Structure 1
Amino acid sequence: MKREICTALMLEAKQEKGISFQQIADEIGRSIVWTTSAILGQNTCDAIESKKVCELLGLGIDIEKAFQQFPSKGTEAIMPPTDPLIYRLYEIVLIYGDTIKQVIHEKLGDGIMSAIDFNMQIEKEENPNGDRVKITLDGKFLPYKKW
């Protein structure tokens, strides 16, 4: 089974059963962000995690095996993004990307932030002027090597 079909079937089962991404994350002991990314085909679950998710969603062995396939990360993305929420994140990088880069270099040196040794949290902050979204990106700093 292709991974894209697996994703569609998992999302359908999730909706039909009224199960949240948080419930799935709790079932496998992972974060909601990582778990959602895995269901959307951008990360890989091991055999134990895959079995637990498929049992929770009432899905069969074919989906369980497909859920363990290594992804081709980011290949489905449309650039620039057209979804308004995703576009706004893209817009933040377009406007503040150079600023982020310069501040990272000033504080840490010449290097990059890892998206492999990485965590992300998404939180809701209640505010009387309108709820706020708080996104924390936490990646290991990788200095450029001289040789």
Structure 2
Amino acid sequence: MFSTETNQNLLPVTDILFKQKKAKGLSFEKLGGLLGRDEVAVAAIFYGQAHASPDDIKKLAEVLELNEVVVANDLGGFPDRGRTLDMPPREPLIYRLYEIIQNYGLAYKAVLNEKFGDGIMSAIAFSTKVEKETDDKGVEWAVITLRGYHILDSKEVDAREEPDDFADI
């Protein structure tokens, strides 16, 4: 866990949230179930990297037995995304994710362009999940899914309709 002692870019409430999560013996998966959110989204909320709705704030405060106003003070605004880590990252797991993008980023772009046309994958209309998979030899594998709405280059936008509902994203 990163803390405000080692990273001044984190919100003051981050340490409090992690302390209470540990004291209550809760996982992000359990908190996600209670909030109706994915476990990665809840972890991102803890770090101030995802938007917390008023309902998220209320439920987090209830479950973690925290003052709702204190939680809302840090999590109630818009996230200041992307400022919590040094680049390149020094934490080994996060560096491996960075390395994946360094090594496969252009390949992802080429394949996405072939499948969807010129554009980008949204990190706003986006969801992600982490799963654990065990193969037939008992070896554990991490499976990370990234799901983002594909946004066409502005010249191509008029040719396609946007989805009616981003609720599932």
Q: What is the TM-score when the length of structure 2 is the normalising length?
A: 0.81
Which residue number corresponds to residue 26 of structure 1? 33
- Give the Cα separation in 1 of the matches to 2:31 and 2:106: 37
Q: CA shift at 1:26, angstroms?
A: 1.1
Contact preservation (8 Å) 1:125, 1:132: yes
Which residue number corresponds to residue 70 of structure 2? 63
- Partner of 2:131, secondary structure, is strand
Residue 141 (1) aligns with residue 118 (2): no
- Moved beyond 2 Å, runs of 4+: 61-64
Kindly provide the amino acid, as one letter, of the partner of residue 10 in structure 1: L
Q: CA shift at 1:61, angstroms?
A: 2.9
- Give the Cα separation in 2 of the matches to 1:122 and 1:32: 8
Task: Classify 1:55/1:3 alpha carbon distance in 2 versus 1 (closer, same or farther; 3 Å).
Answer: farther
Residue correspondence of structure 1 range 55-134 to structure 2 within 5 A:
55-66=62-73, 67-127=75-135, 128=137, 130-134=139-143
What 5-or-longer segments of structure 1 have no aligned partner? none
- Give the Cα separation in 2 of the matches to 1:21 and 1:29: 11
Which residue number corresponds to residue 50 of structure 2? 43
What 5-or-longer segments of structure 2 have no aligned partner? 1-8, 157-169
C-alpha RMSD over aligned residues: 1.7
- Give the Cα separation in 2 of the matches to 1:117 and 1:111: 14
Name which structure has the greater RCO, CA cutoff 8 Å, separation 6+: 1
Kindly provide the amino acid, as one letter, of the partner of residue 57 in structure 2: S
Figure out how many residues of one structure are paired with residues of the other and give that number: 146
- Give the Cα separation in 2 of the matches to 1:141 and 1:58: 39
Which residue number corresponds to residue 12 of structure 2? 5
Write the deviation string for residues 124-145 of structure 1: whole angstroms up to 9, x where unpaired: 0012252001111111111101
Q: CA shift at 1:48, angstroms?
A: 2.0
Q: CA shift at 1:7, angstroms?
A: 1.0
Kindly provide the amino acid, as one letter, of the partner of residue 78 in structure 1: D
